[in-house]
Structure 1
Amino acid sequence: MSEQYSTYVKEQYEYVKGSRNVLFEYCKTISPEDFINQNTSFGRGGSMRNLLVHIANTYEYWIANLALKKNLKYAEYEDNLTIQDVILLFDSVDLFMEEFILEMDLSDREIVYKIQGNKNSASPLKFFSHVITHEYHHKGQILSLSRHLGYIPVDTDIMR
């Protein structure tokens, strides 16, 4: 991978982390009861906490376990009761994302994976793009869920 390309990927992930930290600061203002309150209108467990853990699980699956060939145990909702627990969870995500960015040749190497029994392959860049766009999708759900609970969401866009 070219040094310039690697720099762009690192920089983009820093933007993701910055946006995520804005969300975390906002979640600190949410009552503990509302943070874990499940709403059946929202998928993946329907609470802000559960959506955040689901985001981490996606990083664990695609990056840690498939791309880096780790055998991580997936984070459980019940093990992450507070926003502080979730922040610590994402600290571990950031560690293997740093490893992924440093070790993977994002332009050449294909990663083999299976979905629903079908064998596929994709570039590390596609894996990277998948997990960060997935995070933004669910981040929007978290903000929408908080609005349903009576909070005023913050702007978590990279450009704010």
Structure 2
Amino acid sequence: MDTTLLHQYQLVLSSREALLNYCETIRPEHLAQPIPSYNNDSMGSLMRHVANTYLGWLLNFLQQEQHPYFTEDNHKNLPAIRSMFEQVNLVVNNFLQQYKDDLTAPLNLPREGETKLTLTPLELFTHVITHEYHHKGQLANMSRQLGYIPVDTDVIRD
């Protein structure tokens, strides 16, 4: 049993918690404010997009479950955003438990109207966490555009 990815996800959780704690300092209306340079997305809607990406790849795509995606109501305030990520954590933990014994097994993923996509559990996990980190940087930039000074949310931080 390989627990490396479980440990790695703990680092993701720590980094995410630093971001969410920082978001506690941001006025709620700013979390919902559209940012023109980000296609009029808000910080809350971008966090919803991150959460939906976990659902999309690890549930709806891989498991072929039709779990409903998070909606606009799920990012209206920070408690709702935290709740959304609590659900994501369950999905990730289930995924990691399911594939803990063979992270390199090829998984054939059906794609509507296209040929199958073959990925490993390791590739899928890497994709969703790097996707989150990509957007975490954008969230820091968005908050800066709203007049805030972002905190360090890296895995290694002071």
Determine if the TM-score, normalized by the shorter chain, exceeds 0.5.
Answer: yes
For the residues of structure 1 that align with 2:110 and 2:127, how far apart are their CA atoms? 14
| Structure 1 unaligned regions, length at least 5 | none
**Larger deviation, residues 70-79 vs 96-105:** 70-79
Aligned with residue 10 of structure 1, among 6, 12, 21: 6
* Aligned twin of 1:114: 111
Tell me, yes or no, if the aligned pair for 1:35 and 1:49 is still in contact at 8 Å: yes
What displacement does 1:88 show? 0.3
Aligned with residue 56 of structure 1, among 47, 51, 54: 51
What displacement does 1:148 show? 0.6
Q: Which runs of 4+ in 1 moved over 4 A?
A: none
For the residues of structure 1 that align with 2:34 and 2:112, how far apart are their CA atoms? 28
1:156 aligns with 2:153: yes
- Summarize deviations over 1:64-91 as a string: whole Å, max 9, x none: 1122332110001233210110100000
Name the count of aligned residue pairs.
155
For the residues of structure 1 that align with 2:156 and 2:113, how far apart are their CA atoms? 37
* Aligned twin of 1:31: 27
Query: 3-state DSSP class of the match of 2:109?
Result: strand
What displacement does 1:23 show? 0.4
Q: CA RMSD in A?
A: 1.5
For the residues of structure 2 that align with 1:37 and 1:18, how far apart are their CA atoms? 26
Alignment of 1:20-99 (within 5 A): 20-43=16-39, 46-99=41-94
